[in-house]
Structure 1
Amino acid sequence: MRIVDVREITKPIASPIRNAYIDFSKMTASLVAVVTDVERDGRRVVGYGFNSNGRYGQGGLIRERFRDRLLEADPKSVLNQAGDNLDPHKLWAAMMANEKPGGHGERSVAVGTLDMAIWDAAAKIAGQPLFRMLAEREGREADPRVFVYAAGGYYYPGKDDTALRGEMRSYLNRGYNVVKMKIGGAPIAEDRRRIEAVLDEIGSEARLAVDANGRFDLETGIAYARMLREYPLFWYEEAGDPLDYALQAALSEFYPGPMATGENLFSHQDARNLLRYGGLRPDRDWLQFDCALSYGLVEYLRTLDVLAQFGWSPTRCIPHGGHQMSLNIAAGLGLGGNESYPDLFQPYGGFPDGVRVEDGHIVMPDIPGIGFEGKADLIRVMRELAE
């Protein structure tokens, strides 16, 4: 049993949308296939992965460093104890051989992309949905019902309040009861108007979260906090630079409602520093670490250990990214839910075909692996790479 090939292709996910910091007009993503010599149901087992939106494709790092480490590892050294499956933890260690501590930048995205594919392959070899395999390993009961919220509300050329309201109404019509919009890419008075337009549209049918994408300095973040606390928001997300823990801590003095951050922290050490110095409150705030950007599930398990040390429940985690890997982690490890992009970043976002949102939740189907085979437009692209 071994990995016989690792393939990568950089694909465009370009869109004219923008948030407070970047536009997505030239955005790319890496799609990877980890090909094994194992067969199931007459087909060779291939694990697939891709990096989350908001970070560019990682082809250079994957091809120049991490691919060869996986292929050159002694096959017996990366098997589980029973010898009947790949061990993602051992393969992660092989990828990270000869890497210095720290440096949690693009490297973490490349490793996270490959880690996703490795877990997909391991669950397929085991013949289990990944979420059930994870729950079994942790000795807990898997809950296939997962909370999801609809992320959107981007700035878009010519998009007025009527179009923004229509977008949010479409999410409610599809079963969501929490929606998210971008702020910080317009003057505060304009953002206030946009927020009030959405709140007027959704009424009591849903809750609204807002996301500044790290745009604000302390003064602006406080000004927004004072404005936002007038509204019953689900959360106020990533007000300032993700590594400015002092800014995050200061905002808690001005904003009593829930805040969210963490999608741009890429290691368990970063998570530990956030909990030490960021002033976050475990009774109301949310953590958004995204395994696909932060060294993968192997590292995410370490991050969950850090949370436990600080008295945080995994139910306070709602990962960024809107991908099925985090859905499996949420269902298997008991997270609070997952982000969803109903209309954006296709075919990578969304759920397997036939899965519907009801009362803000979806039910995971029993598909071996991460479940990519259940999404026709996505698995078509993936198999083109592998076969």
Structure 2
Amino acid sequence: MKITSIRQGVVPISSSIANAYIDFSKMTASVVAVTVESGDGRSATGYGFNSNGRYAQPGLLAERFIPRLEAVGELPAHADGGFDPIPAWTAMMKNEKPGGHGDRSVAVGVLDMALWDAAAKLAQVPLWKLLADRYNQGRADEQAWIYAAGGYYQPGKDVDALVEEMKRYLGLGYSVVKMKIGGSPGMGLREALLLDLQRIEAVLKLLDGQGHRLCVDVNGRFGLHAALSYGAAIQGFGLRWYEEPLDPLDYSTHATLAEHYAPPLATGENLFSMLDARNLIRHGGLRPDRDVLQFDPALSYGLVEYLRTLEMLREHGWSPRRCVPHGGHQFALNIAVGLGLGGNESYPEVFAPFGGFADSTPVENSRIRMPDIPGIGFEAKSDLHAVLRDL
């Protein structure tokens, strides 16, 4: 099998929303289309993109990674009718020094996604089934647990508007929701904490006081003092998790927080390699019986690296069920179902058209079934497919 065409573009996903650390007024995403032809006349075009929070990478794609991918000769065919993307991934990483996991992990992840989409299409199976058959002894979950991520800061958005947003998510079939905290501008710690407690309590009231149905997300804004102060204030709510309260690379401070905050913590969406993930597991003080790992395959060199990360986790006593990827995209959803992860994020109202899943797959009690179509399933999400098809 051989790659015959690679195309890339940049799509704006800008909006007026903000989390505790950044706003999304100038956010962009890279999109790619990779066409692969087989020796027997079959062909498939796979699509890829980077998930939110990291900008488009047209320069890295054009200067380094697309030329290396174009130079790949034959792709090794697989017995299922597809091909093995791992040698292509290896070719893309040729002459890349260790370390420096950042924007290049995003560029490689975009192309990796497209290769897996094409491989599953040539095998004429959904990606989740291809992954289950190749890597999980044929076992795939019947459905995936998902939660609605939102609750962003926005000009003029008060507590009532936050509650109305969460009501909409419940109406869409989600039973677990997530909101942002720690982002009130111009406030001292005490004042911001009091406001966030009002916001949290208002949403908890909507959820009948069931803390396990609510996650809160700081997006890495706090230092240790603020993280401990917030942790002490919310500890009694029984929240599903307290997400990314600290800088993602400050492992020793995570360990200190974990000593003082007993309920579940969640982090990892801004770690982009197996080695960074391993440092978190070794030194971050996280607890494999309760904490949640949010590594995003679309941002961290793609599925090839994610497979290495899952193997590392097993070696350190962690179950794949503790993994709930960031990003809210169909690629991670296929991985969650095919490899037995704990679930996946979802963005019902933001980051269109990349957020959300196939049009014909309703959410029921925060669970979703996968469409039975070849590849990742972008063709079943009409607004996203319209963007990708332009390539």
Q: TM-score range by the shorter chain?
A: over 0.9
Partner of residue 203, structure 1: 208
Structure 2 residue corresponding to 1:145, chosen from 140, 143, 146? 143
SS at match of 1:209: strand
- Matched position secondary structure for 1:252: helix
Secondary structure at 2:18 match in 1: coil
Match of 1:49 in 2: 48
- One-letter amino acid of the structure 1 residue matched with residue 52 of structure 2: N
State the match for 1:16 in structure 2. 16
Distance 2:307 2:112 in 1: 13
Q: Deviations over 1:211-245 (max 9, x none)?
A: 00000011111111111102120000001100000
Hey, what's the Cα distance between the residues in 1 that align with 2:59 and 2:14? Answer: 19
Cα 1:382–1:312 shift into 2, 3 Å: same
Q: Structure 1 residue 185 and structure 2 residue 183: aligned?
A: yes
The residue type paired with residue 288 of structure 1 is Q
C-alpha contact 1:169 1:202 (8 A) present in aligned 2: no
How do 1:1-387 residues align onto structure 2 when only pairs under 5 Å count? 1-38=1-38, 44-75=43-74, 78-80=75-77, 85-138=82-135, 139-186=137-184, 187-203=192-208, 207-385=213-391
Q: Distance in 2 between matches of 1:124 and 1:342?
A: 26
What's the secondary structure of 2:289's corresponding residue? coil
Letter in 1 for 2:49: F
The alpha-carbon deviation at position 204 of structure 1 amounts to: 5.1
CA distance, structure 1, for counterparts of residue 370 and residue 78 of structure 2:
29
Structure 2: tracts of 5 or more residues without a match: 185-191
CA drift of 1:188 comes to: 1.2
Which one-letter code corresponds to 2:34 in the other structure? V
Q: Displacement, 1:36?
A: 2.0
What one-letter code is carried by the residue in structure 2 that aligns with 1:64?
E
Q: Can you list the C-alpha shifts for 1:167-208, whole angstroms capped at 9, x where unaligned?
A: 001111111111000011021111111111111112157710
SS in 2 for 1:10: strand
1:38 Cα deviation after fit: 4.6
How far 1:79 sits from its partner (Å)? Answer: 1.3
Q: What is the Cα deviation at residue 102 of structure 1?
A: 1.1
CA contact (8 A) 1:21 1:215 kept: yes
Take 1:74 and 1:7, find their aligned partners in 2: how far apart are those partners?
A: 18
Report the Cα distance in structure 2 between the residues aligned to 1:308 and 1:43, rounded to whole angstroms: 37
Q: Judging changes above 3 Å, is the alpha-carbon distance between structure 1 residues 119 and 203 closer, same or farther for their aligned structure 2 residues?
A: same
Whole-angstrom distance in 1 between the partners of 2:267 and 2:114: 26
C-alpha displacement of 1:304: 0.3
How much has 1:44 moved relative to structure 2?
Answer: 4.4
Shift of 1:143: 1.4
Question: Aligned to 1:16, what secondary structure does the other structure show?
Answer: coil
C-alpha distance in structure 2 between counterparts of 1:90 and 1:192, whole Å = 50
Q: Which amino acid in 2 is paired with 1:210?
A: V
Distance 1:116 1:383 in 2: 16
- 1:53 corresponds to which letter in structure 2? N
Secondary structure in 2 aligned to 1:32? strand
Question: Deviation digits for residues 338-363 of structure 1, max 9, x if unmatched?
Answer: 00000111111111111110011000
Q: CA deviation at 1:43?
A: 8.5
**What residue number does 2:189 align with?**
none
SS at match of 1:250: helix
Q: Which amino acid aligns with 1:329?
A: I
Q: Identify if the C-alpha distance between structure 1 residues 83 and 225 changes in structure 2 by more than 3 Å, giving closer, same or farther.
A: closer
Q: Deviations over 1:251-293 (max 9, x none)?
A: 1122110000000001111111101100000110000000000
Q: Is the 8 A contact 1:50 1:116 kept in 2?
A: yes
Identity over aligned residues, as a percent? 61
SS in 2 for 1:253: helix
Instruction: Give yes or no for contact 2:80–2:123 (8 Å, CA) kept in 1.
Output: no
Residues 45, 121 of structure 1: 8 Å contact kept: yes
C-alpha separation between the residues in 1 aligned to 2:51 and 2:128?
A: 19
SS in 2 for 1:121: helix
Give 3-state SS (helix, strand or coil) of 1:242's partner. Answer: coil
1:82: how far off? 5.1
Shift of 1:85: 3.5
Partners of 1:43 and 1:72 in 2: CA distance: 21
Q: Look up the SS of the partner of 1:230 in the other structure.
A: helix
Secondary structure of the 1:229 match is: helix
